[in-house]
Amino acid sequence: MSTPDGTGTAEHGGHDRQRERAKVRAQVTELTRTAHDPALRRQAARSIRARYHARADRWIETLTAPDGHQVLVVEKELIVTARTWADRGARAYLEARGLERVPLDAPELRDRIVLLRADACADDLDDTVAELRLRGFAASQNQVLPCDPVMKNLGGPALAEPLPAPGRAPRRDGPHVAVVDTGIAEDERPDGWLAGVARHTAGPDRNIDPLDIEPDDGYLDLCAGHGTFVAGVVAQVAPRARVTVHRALLGGGVGSEVDVAAAIIRAVDAGADVVNLSLGSTTRFDQPSLAVEAALEHVEEVEAREGREILVVAAAGNSGDTRPVWPAAFPQVVAVAALTAEHRPAPWSSHGFWVDCSAVGEGVHSTFVPGRESYEFTADPDRFPADAFARWSGTSFAAPQVAGKVAALMAEHGIGARAAYARLRGTGTPLPDYGRALRILPGM
């Protein structure tokens, strides 16, 4: 049913099930089309650029490789390793190209990478990176890691019936799952879901998802509610876990690799046992992100120093091919691809030798945020109430099932995160290019 203005307001109840299914099918269709249609990917990139500038006061550029592959980068910014910067010849070359060092927000990154800025276009910086790589130095532009390489708002989350009220409150001493994402809705839900998740409105731990500022037009922003949805998936699978949300993705659901790396470090230093990254991108030269690599080195040092087991889980992406998506493709990260609701390989999911496991990624049911969808993102918009639930599709929603299940096994067996993942992986069915297929939450 619709309101007089045409905005969908599907009420909770059995008679809306058909509409719900239709919207999930539309999501899957959009994922499949966008993964293989360059025009749609360019359109998504255009939508992201203006929104990121509005939130971060920095521009994003599209970098096109000779093979036609495109990646998003932060304008005028380049990253090198500390070793590269310490080399007299490399530094002289960089300074001759007009690059100057700029401060990094994360102290733990300062001894590992150096952020540089110059008044140069992406193609000029790409030439600089290529020359450094030819000389044996590690460098890259500051690449953008969106909440997915394909924007999942195209097709729209589907308003869904409520989930049963949470049965038990999370334990403060239970396993700690950190969700690095778009943030969380500021107001607590009246139904009790995600009530234990801390909200921070200021400072480096600020984690509120504004929902409607790009533009402030009365409609949900692109990728608004993504972090709330992911956190709800974790809470369903691991009701005893402590869930925290860390905001690294800004306008349009994207953040730079430096933003994401800093959030990973904050989460781990705050005691996270499992870190969920429902974000990622392919990269220039198919090389790993230097900033995230530095953050993962920090994770390993914390593990060794404190005797902890910390597991990082990441979405494999929705590109529909085997090209590695970072940070999922790091060997020390658990890469999660998507299955259909019937437990078959989802053709729109990224996949390949670098994928570790997979879970259902079509029509996943979780918590959402209040607000109205815009016709800009979906042909059949919904109006979501204060205690909204939705169904959404993407590897973004397969990954937190694995993160949550690891936490649940930690609580059940009193074991560390890596041991819990090994136990979980042993329950899966081998599936070529999709790792071990796991049964955790159902889809639609």
Alpha-carbon distance of 411 to 399, in angstroms, equals 19
Q: Is the preceding omega at residue 327 within 30 degrees of 0, hence cis?
A: yes
Burial class (CB in 10 A: 0-12, 13-18, 19+), 136: exposed
**Single-letter amino acid code for the residue at 240:** R
For residue 1, what are the CA distances in angstroms to 11, 336, 374, 381? 8, 36, 17, 11
Best CA proximity match to 222, nearest among 319, 147, 327: 147
Is there a catalytic annotation at residue 187? no
Question: Amino acid identity of 11?
Answer: E
Tokens 């929104």 belong to which residue? 51
Catalytic status, residue 396? yes
CA atoms within 13 A on the CB side of 386: 7
- What does the longest C-alpha to C-alpha distance in the chain come to? 70
Return d(Cα 131, Cα 401) in angstroms, integer: 42
- Reported as half-sphere exposure (CB side, CA atoms, 13 A), residue 158 has a value of 26
Give kind and range of the element (H or E) at residue 141: strand 139-146
Catalytic residue among 47, 126, 226, 273: 226
Classified as helix, coil or strand, 259 is helix
> Choosing from 148, 181, 356, 380, which is the catalytic residue?
181
User: In the numeric block, which tokens belong to residue 285?
Assistant: 């030269």
Asked if residues 413 and 423 have their Cβ atoms less than 8 Å apart, the reply is: yes
φ and ψ of 81, to 5 deg: -75, 160
Is 256 designated active site? no
Query: Which of the residues are catalytic?
Result: 181, 226, 396
